Structure 1
């Protein structure tokens, strides 16, 4: 029988397996991080952002920070009316709406290029949805493939099972 701790772990793993499968974590500046003198417009233009993705900022927390601002704040490097701020040095920000997001450094780094704007798109339809009318259910399963969430869930369920049996 499950105890409450094991049940909680199982529920957590189940939720993670169904919500994070398709999300991408976009690390701002890649290996250069969130620092002055980097062209973040070029970086952003080389990425496609979707609802549910994460944007991550990596920086020295005693020197920099991140503010989500509106377009005026972005253009003028001001944090007045900011809608979010982070200062951990490893910030993971969920992009939960299809819109343009604006982020700046509020410690003065914005004036040295520490600002990035990203356009977040709605999720595209699943790849198989476009062909669903042309493929019968029987033929789509003949290759033996499973969806990514099903495979991830099976893997997590196996780990939980091993963990339960080891107790």
Structure 2
């Protein structure tokens, strides 16, 4: 009788360990989002000494779906528009996707791919007040493609989760 009780206790502990392990495996695949202040302490204004300020700033970041961009500017002196690539290149408001006129503006990155932002006040964009960000899917994969490393790690995580859940289910039944 004693060995049956010990065996039942060990099986219950094994179930707890398996459930925790599968939960951790699932959680490891989730990425936290980040809030970025565009231009850091400089904010969203016309770059005075470096017309590539926002390109340089974005080059040091990795943006993923769910991240938030905060554009710090004074309402009435600047705005932020999300535009298409041609609108970005030409500094025009053609094909505007989103307009924020009140600062600070918070924009959540909802899709992968390149996103383009400009200030539509006369001369601001052409003076360098524009930003292009490349948004990834959160697993480190490039937009539209699944990298071999990302694909392998995703497959391993999914397989491990399924194995742990199957074992847990089998032990519970």
Task: Specify if TM > 0.5.
Answer: yes
Aligned to 1:4: none
Instruction: Find out whether 1:36 has 2:49 as its counterpart.
Output: no
Query: 1:100 and 1:40 mapped to 2: Cα distance?
Result: 14
Runs of 4+ in structure 1 displaced over 4 angstroms?
A: 128-133
Instruction: Find out whether 1:78 has 2:88 as its counterpart.
Output: no
Q: Provide structure 1 residue ranges, at least 5 long, that are not aligned to the other structure.
A: 1-20, 138-167
SS at match of 2:125: helix
Q: TM-score, normalised by structure 2?
A: 0.60
Q: Which has the larger radius of gyration?
A: 2
Instruction: Find out whether 1:113 has 2:128 as its counterpart.
Output: yes
Q: Provide structure 2 residue ranges, at least 5 long, that are not aligned to the other structure.
A: 1-30, 141-149, 165-173
Instruction: Find out whether 1:100 has 2:114 as its counterpart.
Output: yes
> Aligned runs of 1:17-96 on 2, under 5 Å?
22-37=32-47, 38=50, 39-96=53-110
Aligned to 1:148: none
How many residues of Structure 1 are paired with residues of Structure 2 in the alignment? 114
Q: TM-score, normalised by structure 1?
A: 0.62
Q: Could you tell me how far 1:95 is from its partner in structure 2?
A: 0.3
Question: Considering only aligned residues, what root-mean-square deviation do their CA atoms show, in Å?
Answer: 2.2
Query: 2:103 and 2:131 mapped to 1: Cα distance?
Result: 16
